[in-house]
Amino acid sequence: MDPRLVLAVMAGKASAFLIRRLGRGGGTAAPGVVASTIDPAVLDKLARQVDGGCVVVAGTNGKTTTSRMLAGILTQSGRRVIHNRSGSNLVRGITAAFAEQSTVTGRPRGDVAVIESDEAAFPEVVRRTRPRLVLLLNLFRDQLDRYGELDTIAARWGETLRSLPPDATVVVNADDPALATLTEGLTAARRTFGLTDGRYQLDDLPHAADAAVCRRCGAPLRYERLFLSHLGDYACDACGYQRPALDVAARDVQLCGLEGLALTLHTADGPIAVSAGVPGLYNAYNALAAAAAALTLGVRPEAVTEGLARFRSAFGRIERVTYRGRKLVIVLVKNPVGFNEVLRMLEMGGAAPTLILINDLDADGRDVSWLWDVDAERLLDVPVPLYTGGIRGDDMALRLKYAGIPEERLVPLGDLPDALDSFVDDLPADGTGFILPTYTAMLRLRELLAARGVVQAFWEE
């Protein structure tokens, strides 16, 4: 027994209990700070004791959904999973999750860990948890004031990935040219996944795409199929580089409006039909990623199918709630690519009055100029009222005005909670409305709904 570790875990548990008991939040991060103050190596020590190893999930978009999908699949297969389910994905949040899910003697209560990691924290998370498997989803532009340009993150990730030992495995979305290039020639094993179904294609690279050129020679990439932002089947005519062969490929993709999706996974061992109760092509990628990682970990196909079928969206990610007789669908938006995909989903899934809540706090990114990279012009053909609110709601209203949205369709509102109440008042009885918040606006919105008995606090789900 390690007395220092025991004391750190007990202090982390006690601080989480006090924070929640006093109504000061979910205790999803501060307990990690407390535990690490007592034993700076608490995360390292706990992660090392997980018999089945750790899985680190990283990417700009989809981390929370994909890690929850993977944790659900592993649970369905009979594993006991340690998971930072609340989405607190900095080192302190991951440490807090491990402390909470360990015994008071410092033993993790699980045989495998699924760890969602922030992009900037990824190098330290990998160094400290020594993952058995790293799952890489995508690299998009996000919070430039915090992360820097995309190449900055890619360089840091590349150094980290090259440090992985031979017994580790990297499962990577090969439809992302940046990630495909970044994971070439590693000491660790590499397995790839991607789409081959051309049913839902883009005609051209969107304005917010970040990988228009070959990372080997700098020449423009040519896309045979383009699925989402810069994700697709690509080739460079100048140097011959092309998308790697796929170990797990998704075909026969069916997007069923806002109700869900279905697809067929093609593997070396045969096809696997899966479905999930979340909409949108970006969630097809999330389901594909989770399935590819699970299969790499040796999970049976039946558990993959059942685990995804049982999945329900995480808080704020296509979350459906009923409030005052109205149905609200809450969809997080946090960068141009994600916002554009939500707009694409709304176009395909049916129009409804929409409230867009924009904040500019630290967790959102202080610079809201990214709103001008959103293809807001897509809303011209969606004939519904558009409401704006949040700390920077006026910036969103201005972006919509410059997109050509008629003034009679624009309804600027104030900050929460007034914006929520005014929006709901305008919805017809039994009507439906979409709410698109940035991260801190989403947390504040759910805090209000939890106080009114509509949802549980996110750390309780």
- Tally the C-alpha atoms within 13 A of residue 64's C-alpha that lie toward its C-beta: 16
**Domain ranges in the chain?**
3-309, 317-460
- Which pLDDT band, with edges at 50, 70 and 90, does 460 fall under? low
Cα–Cα distance for residue pair 222/219, rounded to 1 Å: 9
Helix (H, G, I), strand (E, B) or coil at 347: helix
426 is catalytic: no
Span between the terminal Cα atoms of the chain, in Å:
32
More confident residue, 263 or 348: 263
Residues 217 and 239: beta-carbon distance below 8 Å? yes
Looking only at the bridges linking them, the beta strands covering 189-195 and 248-256 are parallel
377-431, pLDDT tens digit by residue?
Answer: 989 988 899 999 999 999 999 999 999 999 999 999 999 999 999 999 999 999 9
Helix (H, G, I), strand (E, B) or coil at 428: coil
Cα–Cα distance for residue pair 411/85, rounded to 1 Å: 35
65-122, pLDDT tens digit by residue?
Answer: 999 999 999 999 999 999 999 989 999 999 999 999 999 999 999 999 999 999 999 9
Helix (H, G, I), strand (E, B) or coil at 46: helix
Q: Which of 367, 394, 421, 425 is flagged as catalytic?
A: 367
Residues 89 and 148: beta-carbon distance below 8 Å? no
In the predicted structure, residue 315 carries a pLDDT above the cut 90: no
Q: How far is CA 140 from CA 143, 154, 228, 231, 381, in A?
A: 10, 10, 11, 10, 26
- Which pLDDT band, with edges at 50, 70 and 90, does 212 fall under? confident
Quick one: fold of 3-309?
UDP-N-acetylmuramoyl-L-alanine:D-glutamate ligase (3.40.1190)
Cα–Cα distance for residue pair 149/401, rounded to 1 Å: 28
Calculate mean pLDDT across residues 209-227: 89
Residues 141 and 107: beta-carbon distance below 8 Å? no
Q: What is the CATH number of domain 317-460?
A: 3.90.190.20
Cα–Cα distance for residue pair 44/130, rounded to 1 Å: 8
Residues 137 and 58: beta-carbon distance below 8 Å? yes
Helix (H, G, I), strand (E, B) or coil at 166: coil
- Which pLDDT band, with edges at 50, 70 and 90, does 203 fall under? confident
Residues 250 and 196: beta-carbon distance below 8 Å? yes
Burial of 395 (0-12, 13-18, 19+ CB in 10 A): middle
In the predicted structure, residue 339 carries a pLDDT above the cut 90: yes
Q: Which two tokens stand for residue 358?
A: 């924009």
Q: Which two tokens stand for residue 314?
A: 């995480």
